[in-house]
Chain A
């Protein structure tokens, strides 16, 4: 199946710093990637849809100036948490769809996730 990677897998930072998380589709091109956040014992909440070559689409209640998304190429999307605070501590997961016309189009493949802890 298609592979999506994330880096880093775990990050601990001080309050007020910025953290960048990378999401890569390793063996397919993804014009669209999705960023989710998951708090302990809760389900995945979609934060934004990352579109290659254009601005990301943010879900209601997600601050676009705080969570900066850049989809610079067909295989890479980045999420930057700016001026992170302890309440931003969470599990951040990205996902991507293989292109239409491929057998795996109907699946959304998830990266392994990044656990962010803000002290």
Chain B
């Protein structure tokens, strides 16, 4: 089975940095995804990690350690529009249909 944990809520100030952690225990691993979701909208893709290390994409970076079952999403130079839920998702192996299992999501509130 899959078990994915991330904090429920985080609050940060505009212009600051926030790090959202995600830990997982899975029976198979074929990549970890981060999605952003604004209220009432569908998730939008932010990042994908399948090898250990840091992936940087503009103000957003994502890190993966497969041996530790750990990932984080780093949001820099926070803007008010970054207030949203951030979802960590693990993709299972191909034999399991490449399914994504989502964590509970972390609601980030950016304050002025």
Q: Which residues of A contact B (CB under 8 A)?
A: 1, 32, 34, 41-46, 49, 57, 91, 93, 95, 97, 106-113, 115
Contacts and interface: CB of A to CB of B under 8 A. Distances in A.
Given A44-B87, A107-B48, A110-B43, A32 B97 contact: yes
Interface of B: 31, 33, 35, 40-45, 48, 50, 87, 97-105, 107
Given A106-B31, A108-B33, A46 B44 contact: no
A93 B99 CA distance: 14
Given A44-B87, A93-B42, A113-B42, A106 B101 contact: no
Among A1, A43, A45: residue with most chain B CB under 10 A: A43
Shortest Cβ-Cβ A-B pairs, 8 listed: A110-B42, A43-B105, A43-B102, A44-B102, A113-B42, A43-B104, A106-B48, A107-B45
B59 to A, nearest CB: 19
A97 B98 contact: yes
Given A44-B43, A110-B42, 14 more contacts: A34-B100, A42-B105, A43-B102, A46-B99, A46-B100, A49-B97, A93-B43, A97-B98, A106-B31, A106-B50, A108-B45, A110-B44, A111-B42, A113-B40
Contacts of A111: 42
Nearest to A1: B45
Contacts of B40: 91, 113, 115
A44 B48 CA distance: 18
B104 A113 contact: no
A34 B99 contact: yes
A57 B33 CA distance: 22
Among A1, A111, A113: residue with most chain B CB under 10 A: A113
A108 B100 CA distance: 9
